[in-house]
Structure 1
Amino acid sequence: MNGHRHDAADEVTPAECADFLEQIVYLIDNELDDDDRAAVRKHLDTCNPCLAKYDLQRTVKEVVARSCSESAPGDLRAKIMVRLEQVRVEIANP
């Protein structure tokens, strides 16, 4: 049964799973209307592979969001600024 928990009447094709997987990002970002949100949640409740991909995507988005709110250490910022200036000089004086 390829890892899905579906009744025979509810069997979902790989193409349908792909459609749901495209909507996962919108679900995580709360950008789906009520009907679409309910449909995606229902699918995730019955499809273990899609649920695992949803969990992974949600975790990645949380890590990226947390990382984006942190500032680089001052010494790293200084090194980057020096290197950017070096690149500017190299570009201006080929």
Structure 2
Amino acid sequence: MTDCGCDKAKAELEEYIHNELTVGEAADIAEHMATCEDCSGEHLVGLTLTLKVKQACNEKAPEDLRSAILSKLSEVSA
């Protein structure tokens, strides 16, 4: 394989993180990141953001906040 370069690696980083590339495309990007500190750093940032968003989507609001919001929504809808 040949080094795909920073432009391609950065352009396809989101798809790489979400396993949306072909095996060959993913291998090219992985090979590039193995030798490119800048792209591997961006990959780490992308992984961290993805993890934090997933965690945030699983969190629930405290019951008192939830009740207050639902109450206001009922008032506005009425």
| Band of TM-score, shorter chain | 0.7 to 0.9
Alignment partner, residue 24 of structure 2: 35
Separation (CA, whole Å) in 2 of partners of 1:70 and 1:48: 33
Separation (CA, whole Å) in 1 of partners of 2:46 and 2:55: 14
Q: Which has the larger radius of gyration?
A: 1
Paired amino acid for 1:32:
L
State TM-score, norm by structure 1. 0.69
Runs of 4+ in 1 over 4 A off after TM superposition: none
Separation (CA, whole Å) in 2 of partners of 1:23 and 1:63: 20
1:22: how far off?
2.3
State TM-score, norm by structure 2. 0.81
Matched residue count = 76
Root-mean-square deviation (CA), in Å? 1.9
Give the unaligned 5+ runs of structure 1.
1-9, 90-94
